[in-house]
Amino acid sequence: MRVAIVGAGCTKLGEHWMKSLRDLSTEAGALALKDAGIDGKKIQSLYIGNMSAGRFIGQEHLGALAVDQAGLNPIPATRCESACASGALAFRKAYLSILSGEYDIVMAGGAEKMTDIKGSGAIATLMGAGDQEWESSVGLTFVGLYAIMAKAYMEKYKLTRKELSLVPVKNHKHGLNNPYAQFNYEITTDDVLRSPIIADPLRLLDCSPITDGAAAVVLVSERIAKKFKNPIWILGSGQASDTLALHNRKSLTEIPATKIAARKAYEQAKVKPKDIDIAEVHDCFSIAEILAYEDLGFSERGKGKELLLKKDAMIGGRIPVNTDGGLKMGHPVGATGIKQIVEVVKQLRGEASNQVRNARVGLTHNIGGSGASCLVHILGRE
């Protein structure tokens, strides 16, 4: 049995002072249903990714909230949490529920409302994805953890600070025409290097923003997919875990969970890294994108910067990465994994704002925390 995506929708990403979490999740679901051209009453089950609504807005029980607001009671609804990879986890669970034979039409969504608390509160909440006892309790933040990884990588592989700046420069350029993006402006390497240091060597423009937003997709069984025009097929799905605390890792310059999840997805899809036409990777901080190039097999270890220097990761290059601008254009943590799926679906349909010519196979890569969890999905069109 195969599973296809037949509808996809994403809200505008940003600071939504006049919209609640329920508003955003309902909007994304409505967009996905409209895109699929089906009535919501046909949805048989719903999975929603959300990292920390309890701490961000004081709302738990997100599955019940989402299905209630969408008017879809009494279908089963499940909240999925895997830190910043919560959206991709919801997608995988929806996919597996159809493969099991229990459902034919399922919605997977993700939503996060992050701006209703002060910045310091948001940072503390996000650190819930790290090791509370050994990391957050002693003052570490995620930018601090990724700064440690960046320092180790720069020392080992002689990556310069200017070369690292090429990641946000590329992603801002890609996000310029993205209608969902939180930011729509280009930057230069000088802009990155002049921006304030947050955790050396990472600067403000190396960091993804605090974001409100939601995204949703409609998945159907192969039997149902035949009724839809231009379905996008799920070719592979991989998930893996690693130590929660960074200090327990064998290496600071790679993320093993990515390598394992990717290997599972490649094997299931029967493709290799060279077969990927486009990729959405988890660039929460600039160094994370370079690690992803190597962990996903797009580059040899220590040579990820070559994709940037040769412009291979740009639209028009060998493997365009983050064609919508990636997480730098908005990172509503629970929704990010679904937002990535939406972009790849649009690319494979030929409907993207920054369209890659003849794209047939796309990959999404969603990380939880500093790499304690990872999900990789491979999509394709016929």
Residue 83 phi/psi, 5° resolution?
55, -130
Beta bridge partner(s), residue 218: 7, 107
Q: Is 331 a catalytic residue?
A: yes
Q: Which residue has the tokens 């990535």?
A: 340
Note if 80 is an active site residue.
no
Catalytic residue, chosen from 80, 84, 207, 284, is 84
Q: Which residue is catalytic, options 16, 172, 174, 331?
A: 331
Token look-up 């890294």 returns 273
- Rounded distance between C-alpha atoms, residue 86 and residue 287, angstroms: 21
Alpha-helix runs per DSSP H in the chain: 21-36, 53-56, 62-69, 86-99, 119-126, 142-157, 161-164, 166-175, 189-194, 222-225, 256-269, 286-295, 305-309, 336-349
Q: How many whole angstroms from its chain centre is CA 13?
A: 13
Q: Which of 283, 352, 358 is nearest to 321 (CA)?
A: 283
The strand pairing partners of 199, in sequence order, are 202
b/e map of 216-238 (b: 16 or more CB within 10 Å)?
A: bbbbbbeebbeebeebbbbbbbb
CA gap 289, 285 in Å, rounded = 7
Task: Give backbone dihedrals phi and psi of 133, rounded to 5 degrees, phi first.
Answer: -75, -40
Cβ atoms 221, 104 nearer than 8 A: yes
Q: How far apart are CA 99 and CA 104, in angstroms?
A: 9
Q: Nearest to residue 47, comparing CAs of 112, 2, 5, 93?
A: 93
How far CA 198 is from CA of 120, 192, 204, 214, 239, in Å, comes to 13, 12, 6, 27, 31
Question: Known catalytic residues?
Answer: 84, 331
